[in-house]
Structure 1
């Protein structure tokens, strides 16, 4: 079932680096926009058996039959911009420097991305589809203005929707963006706007055809070089627009949708009447038209998956290509779409923008013939930022130090022990103009119907999920659920003995694994201020201490050398008094010297990516960001409680420790004395 080459392959995947590029599989990451967990074929097929309204999607069903369904995979946020920001930068929302909440079209930080990681592994990279995290302007941005344009963030090639709102329009030429200064939806091919040539080009067809063309050309130009493609669809998001006609006959290199590349006819389906075709299996149903449209959009995506897979088979690279299919958040309720009709949120409560399971537990299938067990299901909890560590392992390179994820290869290959990841989410719906409350659907828990979303937070510790909404202060209690036994979150455990024990642990954990947001855009201001931002990060309690602490010496500072050559050291820092602190670090001026520091589990100091050895970095969250306001950004220190704090140092390219400095608010900057550090004895 696992394939005869599984065990030697796993050894290769866990070895860094690979010995030959041919051993590395291609990777295609397919991201849907607002596709719900309940849209998975396993759930919809059950509805069909029960005689309920349901969607029938052979392509999705085949994908699940040939791959592994991750039933407890979470987006990083219940909204597209922060979800995509975290996905592509490999950090959870507590560490995103720029993209949190509704910060559409701000520029993701100049940090490692999925693209740069795969480039470092020798991959050819492309992003085809929606971006929305590139900066420049909120609407009608350009490659010249956008400091985080995809080709500046690790992608060799880009085609698609640059700004967020353009990605709401499935016919970019015929359905212009009314709030854009240019009154059009921008489609970019490299640095050229091609909207004027997109006559009758339906989004799913346009993006799929361009992706197929890129795959074929890339493979034929250099069959030995692996490729990484991020295909980010804008379906099934509103508008609820549908194709001009049926999916073309056949699939693959010579069939299905085809990229023609001709002005005014970019794809072979650019003909007929726009926004007109309902799939025959739905046309005669006595369903609301909006639901027929939604079902048709999912059907079109389903067909496109078959088309891509056949393309890989035609090129004889199917068995050497990993396909990851997922969605950015839960289902939407826009443009007439009613997620109650098909129960797109599955057996859970919540939709897009909710912290409940339906809001950001997302459909996820991974297909890799001969390696990922076909038809398998796995319920290990994981989250978007795990994909960076996973792709780094596939590519045979070190995951960036700042990555918050863990490799999912033990799960995907059904071999070895899967490490637990960091599952965390914070989001605020306060800025949403019309979506400030959870819908009042009758199948939701009564207390959640029409409840104010406000500031939302989620954390996993062991088997327990802690969640709180409409947060007023850090003292607010978490609702606590065992989402394996209780996936619908019906039985709050906070008043049980175990729940009461978990409550202070969750309160402390959430402060120890996030940083205060401190990015300010000159025109759009600052986002993502939280009610718990000013709370001091708690020091270790007596029961959390590692036992005996001994003074730091050259010998005791020796760390653990990993297989990838990097070093990890766990020190303990004694903070002399409660207050707000800014930290600084400098590595030796040795070539390729890199370092990264976490305080507890929060990012503190980053001298890894684009770092010049021997220079000083600070704990400012404004470092490595673009388009910011330097007078107002990166000025917030870290509030710390008096006592001992884990100080975890990862280094590469030099022996010994970096130099560390700190400055208490209102005081002078000083080197941190060696006696302030200890190690476990």
Structure 2
């Protein structure tokens, strides 16, 4: 069978679809790859409360006519067959930084894309795709990108997905294009561009509703891959829907009958008739479950739902149908048992809707899309950050599992590296979630931290706590330590107190525990940790950027020198030590000389640097090969991806006097004299070379 999809008949079905299942199956490899396929499905502005299994089913069960509700039957089925992650957070409460943190595995304290930096290029560094390619994966991204970097020389964007580890891209390149769900017609936001790698193909996409378009393309890509490569090469797909965000446009027609290989949404491949729903009337179909829906609006019983909310519910239901369609395709291709599917959202529900003035303004209040929480998109309250996350992986994740341990989107890079059998990069802030998903092994604690700046206010919703209605956002932070969440709004300095909530017993964050004497230590811990997990970024300034990072108190006696561990292996990049077993270890006398000359591998130095005076410190690192350095949990120096051997990398930080933990990873170039040089200076003084005896460790 030819690679790609065959030309289609006038009946609008694939030629190969009329083949018997036996013939289709004959085209697919019979063996099963040892590494699982991975599909990561990301929606845009879908709230925790929008899913039936997370919240809407509870509203339905109350049978209260004042509580309208949505249905998500396919996602509920997915939840029943796999795991619900009820405490997963996005890294930022708005799409661009959230998606960048997902792809790079960095929290917002270390990320290069922060705040409202839409269309800023994602850094040329490790991504989920580059890491999985080292494990032999084929990679694709379909849907919304928005991390390409601005350029007048399109389509040569500096951070085109194919320059960040993806083999194939089909979708919206620019962030704002995702505000329109009919790229050819541009019903409410004007005509948009859809890129097939480096070619704009929007002119061929008449009447293509993007949820359907991305789904059809995803199914086509999966089938093509299985026919051409199959078990010889696992795949990773990042499927990024641009709905239900923004225009709340409607599909052209009902979701096609059936699902999977022979039903549901199909790619036809003919310009002007690209998919099998590219006919009928644009922006017209309301799902039958909502067409005549009524509720008690407080004034009128059995009042019809406003059209705006019929649109929202239909858009969400379309995603639900699409997920069911894709899951059935995996069954039909006999690859479901070896495919991980993750479904989630990029941030909390939005109050935005780019609809004509005659429509009722969109508000997540109608369905309580924020669930049992306060806050929406652009808030660091739970409603803005808590995500509706589902995961299936047959024979590995028990059906109906509920994972309550906290996690973030940045944990997926190390999770996927783990299942693919490769090490995550050392720069990754996340941890593998495999233990909590499968029940095997000990789950490492995730770092739950977010920072964001926004000029608006938390909405004045009557359902929200009075203290935060209409509250100015400004500079914000959120940090979670165990069962407790700390939140700061409109931050003026690092000395501002966190509001503290027991998020397990008080998910709506109604009782601020900051004034409780027993929480004084927790307040100090949150203030310290929120400085120790981040580095300043000139393009996203914070009022605490120059605050002095607290040192740590050491109870054990310190000993001069850094402890070191050598990990044998031919590593393609500086890797995290998680899951590795050292082949030798000791205490260093000279940085760089502990690595055996005859064996490839990486040396990790660990210990503390002691500074005598509060103030500004600068560090400079040079290495033959690659290196990476952390201080506390923040990136200090990255000399790994793209690093030119022996070039100088510097970083400035503000430190309190005392001990500061450091990790230095060193991957020496084979056959070359080891060079690992680290210098430090205080303020404007001269640079001082640091020797191993300038560091300390404990037994």
* Among candidates 96, 104, 108, match of residue 111 of structure 2: 96
C-alpha distance in 1, partners of 2:218/2:422? Answer: 25
State whether structure 2 residue 554 is matched by structure 1 residue 545. Answer: yes
What is the Cα-based RMSD across aligned positions, in Å? 1.9
Gaps of 5+ in 1: 1-19, 431-435, 519-525, 620-636
Question: SS of 1:362's equivalent?
Answer: strand
Relative to the length of structure 2, the TM-score reads 0.85
Higher relative contact order structure (alpha carbons within 8 Å, sequence separation ≥ 6): 1
1:311: Cα distance to partner? 0.9
* Among candidates 208, 215, 223, match of residue 201 of structure 1: 208
C-alpha distance in 1, partners of 2:440/2:163? Answer: 36
8 Å contact kept, 2:345–2:389: yes
1:577: Cα distance to partner? 2.5
1:442: Cα distance to partner? 1.1
Segments ≥4 residues shifted beyond 3 Å: 556-568, 612-616, 651-657
Q: Which residue of 1 aligns with 2:197?
A: 190
8 Å contact kept, 1:39–1:344: yes
* Among candidates 512, 520, 528, match of residue 532 of structure 2: 512
Q: Which residue of 1 aligns with 2:233?
A: 225
8 Å contact kept, 1:355–1:458: yes
8 Å contact kept, 1:30–1:232: yes
Q: Which residue of 1 aligns with 2:545?
A: 533
C-alpha distance in 2, partners of 1:248/1:314? Answer: 17
State whether structure 2 residue 173 is matched by structure 1 residue 148. Answer: no
Q: Which residue of 1 aligns with 2:10?
A: none
How many residues align structurally?
A: 615
1:219: Cα distance to partner? 1.3
Q: Deviations over 1:151-177 (max 9, x none)?
A: 100100000010111000000111168
1:669: Cα distance to partner? 2.8
State whether structure 2 residue 606 is matched by structure 1 residue 601. Answer: no
* Among candidates 570, 578, 583, match of residue 619 of structure 2: 583
State whether structure 2 residue 361 is matched by structure 1 residue 347. Answer: no
State whether structure 2 residue 414 is matched by structure 1 residue 414. Answer: no
8 Å contact kept, 2:345–2:387: yes
C-alpha distance in 1, partners of 2:418/2:443? Answer: 13
1:649: Cα distance to partner? 1.9
* Among candidates 58, 64, 69, match of residue 73 of structure 2: 58
C-alpha distance in 2, partners of 1:330/1:304? Answer: 21
8 Å contact kept, 2:551–2:656: yes
Change in 2 beyond 3 A, CA 1:557/1:373: closer
C-alpha distance in 2, partners of 1:568/1:640? Answer: 23
1:566: Cα distance to partner? 4.4
Q: Which residue of 2 aligns with 1:616?
A: 648
8 Å contact kept, 1:172–1:184: yes
Q: Deviations over 1:185-239 (max 9, x none)?
A: 1110010001111100001000000000000001111112000000000010011
8 Å contact kept, 2:120–2:147: yes
> Of Structure 1 and Structure 2, which has the larger fraction of its residues in strand?
2
Indicate the larger mover: 267-276 or 569-578: 569-578
* Among candidates 61, 81, 84, match of residue 49 of structure 1: 61
C-alpha distance in 1, partners of 2:249/2:481? Answer: 41
Change in 2 beyond 3 A, CA 1:170/1:538: same
Gaps of 5+ in 2: 1-30, 294-303, 354-360, 569-576, 581-600
Q: Which residue of 1 aligns with 2:184?
A: 173
1:376: Cα distance to partner? 1.4
C-alpha distance in 2, partners of 1:268/1:461? Answer: 49
8 Å contact kept, 2:418–2:424: yes
C-alpha distance in 1, partners of 2:419/2:41? Answer: 17
1:641: Cα distance to partner? 1.9
1:663: Cα distance to partner? 3.2
1:497: Cα distance to partner? 2.5
Q: Which residue of 2 aligns with 1:458?
A: 478
8 Å contact kept, 2:188–2:247: no
Question: SS of 1:276's equivalent?
Answer: coil
C-alpha distance in 1, partners of 2:315/2:554? Answer: 54
State whether structure 2 residue 513 is matched by structure 1 residue 497. Answer: no
C-alpha distance in 2, partners of 1:651/1:247? Answer: 54
1:585: Cα distance to partner? 1.5
8 Å contact kept, 2:206–2:272: yes
Q: Which of the pair has more CA radius of gyration? A: 2
C-alpha distance in 1, partners of 2:481/2:37? Answer: 34
8 Å contact kept, 1:70–1:379: yes
Relative to the length of structure 1, the TM-score reads 0.87
Q: Deviations over 1:440-464 (max 9, x none)?
A: 1111100011111111101122221
C-alpha distance in 1, partners of 2:647/2:187? Answer: 48
* Among candidates 320, 326, 346, match of residue 308 of structure 1: 326
